[in-house]
Amino acid sequence: MAQFLSKCSANAMADAAANLLAGGLVAFPTETVYGLGADACNADAVARIYSAKGRPADHPLIVHVAAMDGLGDWAEDVPGYAISLARDFWPGPMTLVVKRSALAGDFVTGGQDTVGVRVPNHPVALGLLEAFVRAGGKGVAAPSANRFGNVSPTTAQAVSDELGDYLADGDQILDGGPCDVGVESTIIDCTVDVPKILRPGAITAQMIAESTGSEVIGVVAESAIRVSGSLEAHYAPAATVELDRAPLPGEGFIAMAGVMAGNGVVRLAAPESHQDFARVLYSALRAADDQGLDTVVVEQPVGDGIAVAIRDRLMRAANSKKAH
């Protein structure tokens, strides 16, 4: 069982950074979801991430760096619009996919000639990454800290519940409280002439367009670049997820606060805003499993902004049972 750290002091950050450099795994909070981190330059350590998650080897990881200047270590031929995005939205819930440098090994990129990089916006994540740089590290490869295809964790306890049996005694889980955004980062392909969204998130198409002064290619069903969370079935609890129908007694229900649930329906979440919806979605899906529910009905939020990301995750969660 991994060591569970709830007091993330400077000494704890230095110890966790040393653990990463020694080949250990460290789960840590970001503003989006919790990540499972390894030294992005250590092939053996990164292989342990894939093993712990049960993740396909060709599925690339995102490299987390402490500051924007860390992008230069991992990337080549970075276009001007990507620099604008980094200036405007880092630290923040945005991953830039760029041509990889020699530092980015196949074991991180899934064998592709691109690499995803981001600077997370969470004090514990930044404290860990800064300590890692001070100790001589270059970047931390970190997918979400859950078994592959399952619901991403937004609390340290969810990480422990999900991965506790798959982590070694020397590994660590840093508790930084609940994640503020609640859905994974926006992933933007920066290898083409104009930015292309590969996975929607809190950084929206409108925000990208305003930052870059460029047209933006919206989320496309098919992309030559493989990225995290792009499979048709993903983000799924054990319960079956069904969308946009009336829930029956005994079923779980997630919908905006103004939507009423019938008698006998288990109300899992009633968010007041789309931001609240994103923040509580994964914990509500986990609660359905904790309560042994067979089915969760979700009335999807309408509109633009982060609602696009919420609908993306729910579509993949609903597809998971159909894929089996």
More confident residue, 130 or 6: 130
Q: How far apart are CA 184 and CA 207, in angstroms?
A: 17
**Mean pLDDT calculated for residue range 205-212:** 96
Token pair for 264: 């006998």
Which position has the higher pLDDT, 225 or 163? 163
Q: Which two tokens stand for residue 300?
A: 């999807």
Maximum CA extent, the chain:
59
- Terminal alpha carbon distance of the chain: 31
249-262 pLDDT tens trace: 999 999 999 999 98
Of all residues in the chain, the percent with pLDDT exceeding 90 is 86
- In this model, does residue 184 exceed pLDDT 80? yes
Percent of the chain beyond pLDDT 70? 94
Please give the pLDDT value at position 324: 40
pLDDT tens digits along 293-310: 999 999 999 999 999 999
Query: CA geometry: angle at 174 spanning 237 and 136, to 5°?
Result: 120
Identity of the amino acid at 52: A
Residue 317 and residue 155: Cα distance in Å, rounded? 19
Amino acid at 197: I
Q: How confident is the model at residue 57 (pLDDT cuts 50, 70, 90)?
A: confident
Burial of 196 (C-beta count, 10 Å sphere; 0-12/13-18/19+): buried
* Reduced DSSP (H G I as helix, E B as strand, rest coil) percent helix, strand, coil of the chain, to 5: 35, 20, 50
Task: Identify the CA nearest to 141 among candidates 233, 55, 265, 12.
Answer: 55
pTM across the whole model: 0.94
- Give the model's confidence band at 234: pLDDT under 50 very low, under 70 low, under 90 confident, else very high: low
DSSP 246: P
Confidence band of 323 (pLDDT split at 50, 70, 90): very low
Q: Are residues 145 and 55 in contact, defined by beta-carbon separation less than 8 angstroms?
A: no
Q: What is the pLDDT of residues 261-273, one digit of tens each?
A: 989 999 999 999 9
Of the candidates 148, 67, 70, 74, the one whose C-alpha atom is nearest the C-alpha of residue 104 is 74
Asked if residue 174 lies in contact with residue 28, where contact means CB atoms within 8 angstroms, the answer is yes
Given a cut of 80, is residue 224 above it in pLDDT?
no
Confidence of residue 190 (pLDDT cuts 50, 70, 90): very high
Domains located in the chain, CATH noted: 3-181 (3.90.870.10), 240-322 (3.40.50.11030)
